[in-house]
Amino acid sequence: GAVVSQHPSRVICKSGTSVKIECRSLDFQATTMFWYRQFPKQSLMLMATSNEGSKATYEQGVEKDKFLINHASLTLSTLTVTSAHPEDSSFYICSAGGLAAGVQYFGPGTRLTVT
């Protein structure tokens, strides 16, 4: 299957700082990538749809000014959590599709802890 990577896999930051998470499709091009968030013992929740060369589409309740998404190339999307607070601590996962219709390939996730 297709490979999607994320970096970093784990990050700890202080409250008020910003953190950037990278999502790369390693062996295919993805015009669309998705960002999900998962809190402990809960299912994945879609945060936003990242479109190459255009603005991201955010789900209701997700602050676009807090979670900045940039999809500058067909293989890279970044999520920046600005002015992070402890309640932003979560598991962030990206996905990309484009090979088989409807199939999404997920990154390994990034564990963010805000102290």
Partner 1 sequence: DAKTTQPPSMDCAEGRAANLPCNHSTISGNEYVYWYRQIHSQGPQYIIHGLKNNETNEMASLIITEDRKSSTLILPHATLRDTAVYYCIVRVAKNAGNMLTFGGGTRLMVKP
Q: Which residues contact partner 1 (rule: CB under 8 A)?
A: 1, 4, 6, 30-32, 34, 36, 43-46, 49, 91, 93, 95-98, 100-109, 111
Radius of gyration, alpha carbons of the chain = 13
Comparison of 81 and 93: residue with beta carbon closer to partner 1: 93
* Minimum CB–partner distance for residue 99 and partner 1 (Å): 8
Least CB distance to partner 1 at residue 97 (A): 2
Looking at the Cβ atoms of 14 and 41, the one nearer to partner 1 is 41
Q: Of 46 and 68, which CB lies nearer to partner 1 in the complex structure?
A: 46
Nearest of 32, 23, 24, 45 to residue 90 by alpha carbon = 45
Could you give the C-alpha distances from 23 to 16, 33, 41, 86, 97, in angstroms and in order?
Answer: 23, 9, 23, 23, 13
Least distance in Å: CB of 104 to partner 1?
Answer: 5
Residue 101, class by beta-carbon neighbours within 10 Å (0-12 exposed, 13-18 middle, 19+ buried)?
exposed
Task: Indicate the residue among 70 and 106 with the shorter CB distance to partner 1.
Answer: 106
